[in-house]
Amino acid sequence: MIHLEEVNKIYPTANGPVHALRDLSIDVEQGEFVAVRGPSGCGKSTLLMTVGGLVALTSGRVVVAGEDLRGASPATKARFRAEKIGFVFQMFHLLPYLTVLENVAAGAARGQQGAARRRAGELLDKFGLPHRLKHRPAELSAGERQRVAIARALVNRPQLVLADEPTGNLDPDNAGVVLDLLASFHHEGGTVLLVTHQERAASCAQRTILLRDGAIDA
């Protein structure tokens, strides 16, 4: 599902180049639940965004869900993300002026709006939020917002969910709910790559990739 081969990412900055990923080679099988851990600045987010086709590589090869991302055009990458990937972030990143239902349906592929609204309603129902469809994100608790964000990530039935510290802003109870939702996506055959600092979150995964200075920490 995920194949990284000798990947390097160097960010050019005003203070000189920052080598965020160093000769990184990783394979994740379809249906695996993998945690990514390591100290702050070790390249976890860069790795996740690389897998999501959001980072222009310096060198190396990245193939995700059958898509070779190295030479892919922006349009191909956008379609790849829309069809195959769901993103979940620590800060939720919901659109404040849309309702909960609209936020979830907004991720739908073009021409699929009607079906997306139905699927969004089903997911929000399943995630315990049927009474919140017309609310704005600001009217929701942090745990509820993250459940909405997970519904949005799943609305297009992705093969892979990329989650960057999804429980980092949640209390233990709400973190547990969010981890259960990711685990249930995994049990239904989905692949999960989860960046986390938290022991409990990592324990949901089948294995952990530990990074240090942009490389596997052996």
**Chain residues in the site for ligand ADP (CB under 6 A):** 11, 13, 18, 20, 38, 40-46
Minimum CB–partner distance for residue 204 and ligand ADP (Å): 19
Tokens of 173: 């109870």
Nearer to ligand ADP, 10 or 177 (CB): 10
Minimum CB–partner distance for residue 43 and ligand ADP (Å): 4
Nearer to ligand ADP, 20 or 160 (CB): 20
Minimum CB–partner distance for residue 16 and ligand ADP (Å): 10
Nearer to ligand ADP, 13 or 73 (CB): 13
Write down the residue that tokens 């989905």 correspond to: 190
Nearer to ligand ADP, 43 or 137 (CB): 43
Minimum CB–partner distance for residue 42 and ligand ADP (Å): 4
Q: At a CB cut-off of 8 Å and minimum separation 6, what does 211 contact?
A: 36, 37, 38, 42, 43, 44, 47, 217
Cα 75–chain centre separation: 20
